[in-house]
Amino acid sequence: MKKSKLILLVIAVFAFMTALAVFASATDYCAVGQVRGDKAAILKADGTVATVTYEGTAPYPDSVCSYTVSGDKYTFTALSFPGYTSWRIYDVNGGAVFADGAGNQGSYKSAPAFLKTGTYKWKVATTNQVVIPTGVGDFDNTGWPCNIDAIWNGDTGAFDVIYGSEKVYNADNGYAAALDPQVVMCPGAAEKELKVKTEAKDHKLCAVGEIDAANKKAAVLFSDGSIETVDYEGDVTADTVCTFAVNGGKYTFTPVAFAGYYTWRLWDVPAGSFFQGFDENSNEYRAYYNDSVAFLKTGTNKWKVAKANQVVIPAGAGDFDNTGYWANVDAADLDSDGMLDVLYADGQNKFGDGLDPNIVLAPNSGEYDVVLGNEQAPQTADVISVVAIVALVSFGGAALLIRKKH
């Protein structure tokens, strides 16, 4: 009797360990959207969107990764897609075949499909991953090149995960049937925006323009586009970017210590970043400025400011599309959370070759005269609406300006 119980116990333990091993070996996939500090916004295969804390190497924004979870910390591993974009894909026979010209093929029936639809925007599907409408492919239910990539599992003989984006290869090279992933992937799935949920930060940033040192007065351009003449105490230098504090109606200014990013490469995609290079483990090192405030000095007591579209690199302005080196733009991470809080450039100074900050920094902002006595209300957009001006004139032009307390 005791022997039988022992055998049953051994069998039970073996079954449990086997199940545990199978569970532990399972791979989870996700799309990573915005990354800020030690936080990442992700879309899991089941459609769940979450902001998670990660450890180890930061995941690359707008990429597909595998991940593991230990406690409440995620560890991400970048996926290296091998290039199935040039294969043929079918949406029949169980949803499911990639095939190359040599007759090699494999099923994606059980693979989650991740489709990037825009910056931080994704879809995911675990059924009907690919649906090819009539007339879209070169034959019914199929198209080539597929423009969809995948990860092959040699143990199962099938694909584990498939991926598509806004890119369509070969469409302009005589391949009329080249598939557009935006049309054929995840057709029934909802688009989801992957942005990190954090508390809003207010670093109280400003550009100091003209000063009257004898009377301790300074003209200040705030990040919301308002201009005020304020009383200050302590010292301040004209035409500098500062943080500020207010005590008893008087301002104290602290110049921002910029990090020297002007020698880096600057991107306006993906997600807005400076790129320095690679660390000793071949991981990219980037600094992201998604939520930063950009200040551009255009002349003596003349400034631009932007909190959106901080950097826009027109075609031909950089050495490649959407990027340029040197950046000729500096930056600072004020709270050491891994995200840049403020960008700055002096349009009158340009270090070496590279981007012209007068073209790429705060391009949609108007120029402000930051001089004593020039009071201006906060701006709600880069440019005041012509419609609003016309409406104001039509009604006789009486306007009440309510000053925002900083």
Do the bridges between strand 284-288 and strand 273-278 make them parallel or antiparallel, or are there none, so unpaired? antiparallel
Asked if residues 119 and 129 have their Cβ atoms less than 8 Å apart, the reply is no
Which among 269, 353, 374 has a CA at the least distance from the CA of 315?
Answer: 269
Amino acid at 28: D
Tell me what the pLDDT averaged over the chain comes to: 84
The neighbour count for residue 377, using CB atoms within 10 Å, is 16
Alpha carbon distance, N-terminus to C-terminus of the chain: 81
pLDDT of residue 349: 81
DSSP conformational letter for 106: E
pLDDT of residue 352: 75
pLDDT of residue 270: 63
Asked if residues 345 and 327 have their Cβ atoms less than 8 Å apart, the reply is no
Q: Per residue in 230-281, pLDDT tens?
A: 999 999 999 999 999 999 999 999 999 999 999 999 999 766 888 887 766 6
Band of the pLDDT at 382, cuts 50, 70, 90?
Answer: very low
Asked if residues 236 and 218 have their Cβ atoms less than 8 Å apart, the reply is yes
Asked if residues 354 and 325 have their Cβ atoms less than 8 Å apart, the reply is yes
Rounded Cα–Cα distance for residues 110 and 51 (Å): 26
Q: Is the peptide bond before 187 cis (omega within 30 degrees of 0)?
A: no
Q: Per residue in 29-60, pLDDT tens?
A: 999 998 877 889 999 999 999 999 999 998 99
Q: How far is CA 88 from CA 82, 102, 166, 269, in A?
A: 15, 11, 18, 30
SS3 content of the chain, % helix, strand, coil (to 5): 10, 35, 50
Which of 4-8, 217-221, 393-397 tops mean pLDDT?
Answer: 217-221
The neighbour count for residue 71, using CB atoms within 10 Å, is 7
| Element containing residue 11 per DSSP (H, E) | helix 2-25
**pLDDT of residue 403 exceeding 70:** no
343, exposed or middle or buried, with CB in 10 Å at 0-12, 13-18, 19+? buried
Tally the C-alpha atoms within 13 A of residue 9's C-alpha that lie toward its C-beta: 6
